[in-house]
A and B are shown apart, each in its own frame.
Chain A
Amino acid sequence: MHHDQPTTAASAGRESGKSPRLTVDGLCLDVPDGEQATRRLLDDVGFSVLAGEVFTILGPSGSGKSSLLRCLDRLNEPTAGRVLIGGQDMRDLPVREVRRRVGMVFQQPVLFPGSIADNVLYGLRARAAEPTDPDGLVGDLLARVGLPPDWSGHSTRDLSGGEAQRVALARALANGPQILLLDEPTAALDRSASARIERLLVEMGSATDLTLVWVTHDLDQARRIGHSGLILVDGRVVEQGSLTTLLADPAAEVARLFVAGDLDSGPAAT
């Protein structure tokens, strides 16, 4: 992979004077648990990511990875802490502006009924920003995600899992996001589709200044994709930094267990 931008850990970016695209600071998330009680899903999570960087969030199932991602798109409301998008506090922006700047691709691609073009143009139409040349735009986006541009009129019904995930990706890109959240984007796909989607995302990450925050439970995938990242266990960050050191020589005991495969690392169910 070749990079023009600084692509090491966020700290390196700060040293070079570049401000992070995404900053998470002291993030906590409590959810109701029974009548009165609450359960803490995320506890004091903090990290920052530069433009064009691929940041990986690793952790066993139920560690809070998906919840963390949902907080970054404000689908969940953090109980405490801050999320800065391009230096701006998320809470100071209209929520739909946050979701336009921060795209999200889910583990299971959920496509809307209708054509592929209907899906790709959904976000633009939702805010009454129908492009002047919708066919051209959809064709370009389909080409970017490796689908034939002339598929725009096709129904979404007969797509394979990998194709559906590509449409979901094109749909997220149509909004022109600065940050793309990927919640185990290849976990529901068969092996070859998974490998191809992974390659597409990595190439996209390196070719543009799009920031990717990529949740995975797959250590091998993390080794292939990420620049920096963190390991989340029981809602806490147990290890953080460059992925190479993170995976080769984790300091924390629990992180060592996770890397060694001694913690359950099935697909996240949170």
Chain B
Amino acid sequence: MGRALIEVAGPLAAQAQFSFVNVALALLMVAVAVALSFWQRLSLEKDMLLACARAFVQLLAIGYVIQLVFRSRSFWFVLLLLTAMVLFAAITSGRRLRPLPGAYAIAAIAITLASALTLVLLVALDVVPSTARYVVPLGGMIVGNAMNVVSVVGTRLREELESERRTIEAALALAASPSQATRPSLRRAVRVAMIPLIDNTKTIGLVFLPGAMTGMILAGADPLDAVKLQAIVMYMLIGTVAIAAAVAAYLVQRQLFTRHEQLRRLSSG
């Protein structure tokens, strides 16, 4: 019995087609969660239902868009889609960097630079085929990770600016340059932003099966192929995240000072 089940999950799954009935049935688990929330008075019912509805609509929309891009077989559509991703990411990250002057521009530059460099390198070195099927989902991962890192670096640097204000000004008063005065803070911010991904990379496969690999296995690919792609994904993300963190830190640092090398006060007081 158990053996038969495993076989069914094997090659047959490659042809698996999901109907909306399957999706609707999966909602049963949401119903359980809602019931739990109601029973325990967590007041999360509305949030959960709204989140599920939003996720479905958003995924459906992006699914159609990606389908369209795949069918068009046009490089320009791919570029347009990636640009839109970067734009959304920059707006999300930029909001986190406010009230820093030029917050959105900083986020856009850091995310674009890191994403473009990684993607161009992957395609130019022929690490992955330069087809929409690879570039779009990998691009999404790259942009998403770059976005997270820029948000963390920006938020952290703003906190450092408040907590380390006296140290930074003591350094400035000794005729240090802004970049010298903020170097320890910058280092801490970049480290904090990069550590989660590095830890993920370390424990990958032990604690959880990562997304790309899970997806490929579910889609019926050879697990070893899935592993290879996953390794590529992890390595490229480390590069992306490092570039995004460094660029964001550099740009944020510059905005923290006036042109006379005075540390700005961003919050009131």
Which A residues are within 8 Å of any B CB, using their own CB? 32, 34, 73-77, 95-97, 99-100, 103-104, 106, 108, 110, 112-113, 122-123, 126-127, 168, 171-172, 175
Q: What residues of A have a CB within 8 angstroms of the CB of B177 in the complex?
A: 96, 126
Q: What residues of A have a CB within 8 angstroms of the CB of B173 in the complex?
A: 73, 75, 99, 103-104, 106, 172
- Select one of A34, A108, A123 contacting B174, CB under 8 A: A123
Q: Is the CB of A74 within 8 A of B262?
A: yes
- Among the 9-residue stretches B36-44, B47-55, B162-170, B223-231, the one with 4 or more Cβ atoms under 8 Å from chain A is B162-170
Closest A residue, CB atoms, query B169: A75
Q: Is the CB of A126 within 8 A of B166?
A: no
Q: Is the CB of A34 within 8 A of B268?
A: yes
Q: Is the CB of A106 within 8 A of B261?
A: no
Q: Is the CB of B174 within 8 A of A175?
A: yes
- Select one of B167, B170, B261, B268 contacting A96, CB under 8 A: B261
28 contacts between A and B (CB under 8 A): A73-B173, A74-B260, A74-B261, A74-B262, A75-B172, A75-B262, A77-B262, A95-B260, A96-B176, A97-B175, A99-B173, A100-B175, A104-B173, A106-B166, A110-B166, A110-B170, A112-B167, A112-B170, A122-B171, A122-B174, A123-B175, A123-B176, A126-B171, A126-B174, A126-B175, A126-B177, A175-B174, A175-B175
**Interface residue B83 (Cβ < 8 Å from any Cβ of A):** no
Q: Is the CB of B258 within 8 A of A99?
A: no
Q: Is the CB of B169 within 8 A of A99?
A: no
- Select one of B166, B167, B175, B268 contacting A99, CB under 8 A: B175
Q: What residues of A have a CB within 8 angstroms of the CB of B67 in the complex?
A: none
Q: Which 8 A-B pairs have the closest CB atoms?
A: A123-B174, A126-B176, A104-B173, A99-B175, A100-B175, A110-B170, A96-B175, A110-B166
Q: Is the CB of B171 within 8 A of A32?
A: no
**Interface residue B74 (Cβ < 8 Å from any Cβ of A):** no
Q: Is the CB of B169 within 8 A of A108?
A: no
Q: How many angstroms from the CA of A127 to the CA of B83 in the assembled complex?
A: 42
Q: What residues of B have a CB within 8 angstroms of the CB of A127 in the complex?
A: 175
- Select one of B167, B176, B260, B263 contacting A110, CB under 8 A: B167
Q: How many angstroms from the CA of A106 to the CA of B169 in the assembled complex?
A: 10
Q: What residues of B have a CB within 8 angstroms of the CB of A110 in the complex?
A: 166-167, 170
Q: How many angstroms from the CA of A99 to the CA of B113 in the assembled complex?
A: 36
Q: How many angstroms from the CA of A154 to the CA of B251 in the assembled complex?
A: 36
**Interface residue B180 (Cβ < 8 Å from any Cβ of A):** yes
Q: List 4 additional A-B contacts (Cβ < 8 Å) besides A96-B175, A122-B174.
A: A75-B263, A76-B262, A95-B261, A122-B171
Q: What residues of B have a CB within 8 angstroms of the CB of A32 in the complex?
A: 268
Q: How far is the CB of A75 from chain B (nearest CB, A)?
A: 6
Q: How far is the CB of B184 from chain A (nearest CB, A)?
A: 8
Given contacts A122-B171, A126-B171, A126-B176, contact A77 B166 (CB under 8 A): no
Q: Is the CB of B172 within 8 A of A99?
A: yes
Q: What residues of A have a CB within 8 angstroms of the CB of B180 in the complex?
A: 126
Q: How many angstroms from the CA of A99 to the CA of B170 in the assembled complex?
A: 11
Q: How many angstroms from the CA of A32 to the CA of B260 in the assembled complex?
A: 18
Interface residues of B in 37-92 (CB under 8 A from A): none
Closest A residue, CB atoms, query B168: A110
Given contacts A34-B268, A99-B172, A175-B175, contact A108 B166 (CB under 8 A): yes
Q: How far is the CB of A180 from chain B (nearest CB, A)?
A: 11
Q: Is the CB of A122 within 8 A of B176?
A: yes
Closest B residue, CB atoms, query A74: B260
Q: How many angstroms from the CA of A76 to the CA of B166 in the assembled complex?
A: 14
Q: How many angstroms from the CA of A122 to the CA of B174 in the assembled complex?
A: 8
Q: How many angstroms from the CA of A123 to the CA of B180 in the assembled complex?
A: 10
Q: How many angstroms from the CA of A112 to the CA of B177 in the assembled complex?
A: 15
Per-position contact with A for B250-261: 1 when CB-CB < 8 Å, else 0? 000000001011
Q: How many angstroms from the CA of A50 to the CA of B18 in the assembled complex?
A: 86
Q: How many angstroms from the CA of A127 to the CA of B262 in the assembled complex?
A: 18
Q: What residues of A have a CB within 8 angstroms of the CB of B171 in the complex?
A: 112, 122, 126
Q: How far is the CB of A181 from chain B (nearest CB, A)?
A: 8
Q: How many angstroms from the CA of A104 to the CA of B180 in the assembled complex?
A: 18
Q: What residues of A have a CB within 8 angstroms of the CB of B262 in the complex?
A: 74-77
Q: How far is the CB of B171 from chain A (nearest CB, A)?
A: 7
Q: Which of B171, B173, B262 has the most CB of A within 10 A?
A: B173
Q: How many angstroms from the CA of A76 to the CA of B258 in the assembled complex?
A: 10
Q: How many angstroms from the CA of A99 to the CA of B262 in the assembled complex?
A: 11
Q: How many angstroms from the CA of A172 to the CA of B86 in the assembled complex?
A: 47
Q: How many angstroms from the CA of A127 to the CA of B167 in the assembled complex?
A: 18
Q: What residues of B have a CB within 8 angstroms of the CB of A34 in the complex?
A: 268
